[in-house]
A = this chain, B = another copy of it.
Amino acid sequence: MSKKERQQQLLQVIGGNPFVTDRELTRQLKVSIQTIRLDRMELGIPELRERMKQMAEHSYDQVRSLPADEVVGDIVDLQLDKSGISIFEIREDHVFSRNGIARGHYVFAQANSLAVAIINDEIALTASADIRFVRMVRLGEKCIAKAQVRSLAGRGGKAEVDVFTYVGEELVFQGHFIVYRSAVEEYSEGGNRSADRH
């Protein structure tokens, strides 16, 4: 068996079972452990422990990425159909554990929540958005999102809301949201709106 063939097989075996040790590989491929290790080097395959670590980190980040908590940002100022401000502090839960940089969807969630809350209607849902993460946000930083309604189609139409999020003076995020609004009664149980928005 040629070197290339063997390395292909190596990729296959480790692909099929990433938890295999070099010693087990020597049995399957019938070469010395040094050869296995040289092959791993050449193929850029990390050692078993590193493979497990990466899988663990990946899945750990994954778990934390499904936001479990409801409220994203405290709305400190709200003028319905006009403007609003929300504050959101980046905590451990909101960042990648590797580097302490905030996951984008938390920054988005703050802006989205604000864009929806600002609309004075029974139902307000985001229809589409065009967003840009201007700079990374880090653990401990306080994001201040400022929203402005740009246009309001009559009842049951769409609204356009711009949101700019700052850390201090610095712009970190900007988004242009199209928000559906309708006083449609299909779901409303007649209560006054706004109470359950954040």
Contact = CB atoms under 8 A, between A and B. Distances in A.
A132 B11 CA distance: 39
Interface of A: 11, 14-19, 43-46, 49-62, 65-68, 70, 72-75, 88, 92-93, 96-101, 103-106, 108-110, 112-113, 116-117, 122-123, 125-133, 136, 187-198
Contact of A59 (B44, B59, B132, B195): B59
A41 to B, nearest CB: 9
| Interface of chain A, main secondary structure | mixed
Q: Copies of this chain, how many?
A: 2
A42 to B, nearest CB: 11
B123 A113 contact: no
B46 A190 contact: yes
A18 B54 contact: no
A93 B122 CA distance: 19
A123 B136 CA distance: 12
Q: Which residue, A125, A191, A196, has most C-beta atoms of chain B within 10 A?
A: A196
A74 B52 contact: no
